[in-house]
Amino acid sequence: MRIAIFNGHIIDPANKLDELAGLYIEDGKIVAIGDAPAGFEPQTLIDAQGKIVCPGFIDLSTRLREPGQTHKATIQSETHAAASAGFTCLCIPPDTRPVIDTPEVLELIKDKAEQCAYKHIYPIAALTQKLAGKELSCMYALKQAGCIAVGHAQAAIQDLLVLRRAMEYAATHDLLLMYCPQESALSNQGCAHEGAMASRYGLSGIPVAAETIALMQCIELIEQTGCRVHFRGLSSGRAVSLIAKAKQSGLAVTADVGMHHLHLCDTDMRPFDSHYHVLPPLRSQQDKEALLAGVQDGIIDAICSDHQPHDVDAKLGAFPETEPGMATIEAVLPLMLRLVEQGNLDLVQGIASLSEFPAKILAINAGHLAIGGIADVCIFDAHEKWQINQQTWQSRGQNTPFWQDAMLGRVCFTIQAGKVIYSQ
């Protein structure tokens, strides 16, 4: 398949490209940027006039809900949603049912994705068996089977000795640990940020310390074990400060934040509206601002969708008993552009935080537009207005607080390994 994309505004942060140019793809690879190679005869022509051409987005945490929870979503439905949102690589947390703790489950997911014609699925293997926090998973076998990293999703690891040994063992096999810092004893089954809002509405609170204490413990264990760690889904300003300090001291740690945490805080919640029920919780306005500053300063490396589609029933109940998580992946691009519009983020950095930086965290050859490199490309119109509704939304999960919101910026084409996997 030969594709020519012409008249587009190419933005490739990794290669510092920011210009009007053509992009040419053949056999899944980028063969030229600028002028077409001699004798290039495209089978597909894409006029990208007025549009931005950038690397396909890479998501560090996408729940597909398959296997095990296909009543919520499927690999088919969510890879389609991801493609429509410009994402060409997805990291899958291990909390599927069964858990991704054997090569068989991992291969099953990869096979299913391939059947859905979605190529770049990166399962994150469970750090411990069944995510129970007790026995180590077969990390070597899981690495052989192709896991991108190890992690524990939002399951607690209550025993620090287990965490220490798991980190040592992961380091033995040079596996990246993707760690969601949350001390479950302090979270104490809370469902909202411990602050004035939770106090007012009688919701049990999760203190910031639940995040920072787990973060500090893990940082100390990095010093001890030499494990490579990426901190997933930070929610507080104090966590940003701790990451900054760790980076200053020379530790090779990275971090990301969910896009919704850059847009919402606890005071934005509509009373008892379960669509705002997420883990970690939406925290204070100051936390939101500190997270944003963290992204601007590069302390937080990447922005993530933390996409968690749910069935209707999961969100139907009194707030504390509903399941946490938002379906977000299709809102990521317009929400990034909203930050740019608000003057809170530079467009190039915004694109990098969704492509170049997550690729670096995962140490994969992606997230850039290089000649000879895999052709993962997103083409979007930064000015197209649309509304999130039944007609436009692809994900099976409609659990988003942004439902029916007006959005600015929409994906026109998504190309994965040289193949158009989405066109508007």
Partner 1 sequence: MFVDKDLQLNSLGKLKHFLSIQGQEQSLLTEILNTAESFADISAQQVKKFPLLRGKTIVNLFFENSTRTLATFELAATRLSADVLSMNIATSATSKGESLLDTIRNLEAMQVDMFVVRHSLSGAAHFIAQHTAPHISVINAGDGQHEHPTQAMLDMFTIRRAKQQFSGLRIAIVGDILHSRVARSQVHALNILGAEEVRVIAPKTLLPVEVESLGVSVYHDLTAGLKNVDVIIMLRLQKERMNSALLPSESEYFKCFGLSDEKLKIANKDAIVMHPGPINRGVEISSSVADGPQSVILQQVTNGIAVRMAIMSMAMQSNNARAE
Q: Is 316 in the site for partner 1 (CB under 8 A)?
A: yes
Residue-by-residue DSSP string for 115-175: HTT---EEEEEESBGGG-SSSB--HHHHHHTT-SEEE-TT-----HHHHHHHHHHHHHTTP
**What is the Cα–Cα distance from 19 to 54, expressed in whole angstroms?**
11
Please confirm, yes or no, whether 306 is among the known catalytic residues. yes
**What is the Cα–Cα distance from 390 to 372, expressed in whole angstroms?**
39
Four-residue CA torsion sign, 166, 168, 171, 172: negative
Q: Which stretch binds partner 1 (CB under 8 A): 20-28, 119-127, 138-146, 260-268?
A: 260-268
Question: Which positions from 163 through 222 interact with partner 1, judged by CB under 8 A?
Answer: 194-205, 207
Q: Is 403 in the site for partner 1 (CB under 8 A)?
A: no
| Proportion of the chain in helix, strand, coil states, percent, rounded to 5 | 35, 25, 40
∠ CA 358-257-92 to the nearest 5 degrees?
55
Provide, rounded to whole angstroms, the least separation between the CB of residue 311 and partner 1: 10
Q: Is 269 in the site for partner 1 (CB under 8 A)?
A: yes
Kindly give, in sequence order, each residue whose CB lies less than 8 Å from that of residue 344, ignoring residues fewer than 6 positions away. 262, 292, 296
Provide, rounded to whole angstroms, the least separation between the CB of residue 233 and partner 1: 22
Q: Is 267 in the site for partner 1 (CB under 8 A)?
A: yes
Options 28, 34, 98, 320; binder of partner 1; rule CB under 8 A: 320
**What is the Cα–Cα distance from 99 to 399, expressed in whole angstroms?**
23
Place of tokens 């492509």: 355
Q: CB nearer to partner 1: give 152 or 238.
A: 238
Q: Which of 306, 311, 376, 381 is catalytic?
A: 306
Q: CB nearer to partner 1: give 205 or 309.
A: 205
Q: How many residues bind partner 1 (CB under 8 A)?
A: 29
Question: Which positions from 58 through 97 interact with partner 1, judged by CB under 8 A?
Answer: none
Q: Which stretch binds partner 1 (CB under 8 A): 169-177, 225-233, 313-321, 412-420?
A: 313-321
Q: CB nearer to partner 1: give 66 or 266.
A: 266
Q: CB nearer to partner 1: give 114 or 313.
A: 313
Place of tokens 């994965």: 416
Provide, rounded to whole angstroms, the least separation between the CB of residue 263 and partner 1: 15
Going from the C-alpha of 305 to that of each of 91, 180, 249, the distances in angstroms are: 11, 14, 29
Nearest by Cα to 399 from 125, 95, 132, 81? 81
Provide, rounded to whole angstroms, the least separation between the CB of residue 48 and partner 1: 42
Q: Is 319 in the site for partner 1 (CB under 8 A)?
A: yes
Q: CB nearer to partner 1: give 190 or 367.
A: 190
Provide, rounded to whole angstroms, the least separation between the CB of residue 323 and partner 1: 10
Q: Which stretch binds partner 1 (CB under 8 A): 62-70, 143-151, 311-319, 414-422?
A: 311-319
Residue-by-residue DSSP string for 81-106: HHHHTTEEEEEE-S-SSS-S-SHHHH
**What is the Cα–Cα distance from 201 to 79, expressed in whole angstroms?**
37
What DSSP designation does 307 have? B
**What is the Cα–Cα distance from 348 to 362, expressed in whole angstroms?**
20
Q: Is 285 in the site for partner 1 (CB under 8 A)?
A: no
Nearest by Cα to 394 from 64, 119, 78, 56? 78
Provide, rounded to whole angstroms, the least separation between the CB of residue 197 and partner 1: 5
Question: Which positions from 128 through 167 interact with partner 1, judged by CB under 8 A?
Answer: none
Q: CB nearer to partner 1: give 168 or 268.
A: 268
H or E element in which residue 334 lies: helix 332-341
Q: CB nearer to partner 1: give 272 or 403.
A: 272
Provide, rounded to whole angstroms, the least separation between the CB of residue 329 and partner 1: 25
Q: Which residues carry out catalysis?
A: 306
Name the residues that contact partner 1, by CB under 8 A.
194-205, 207, 266-272, 313, 315-322
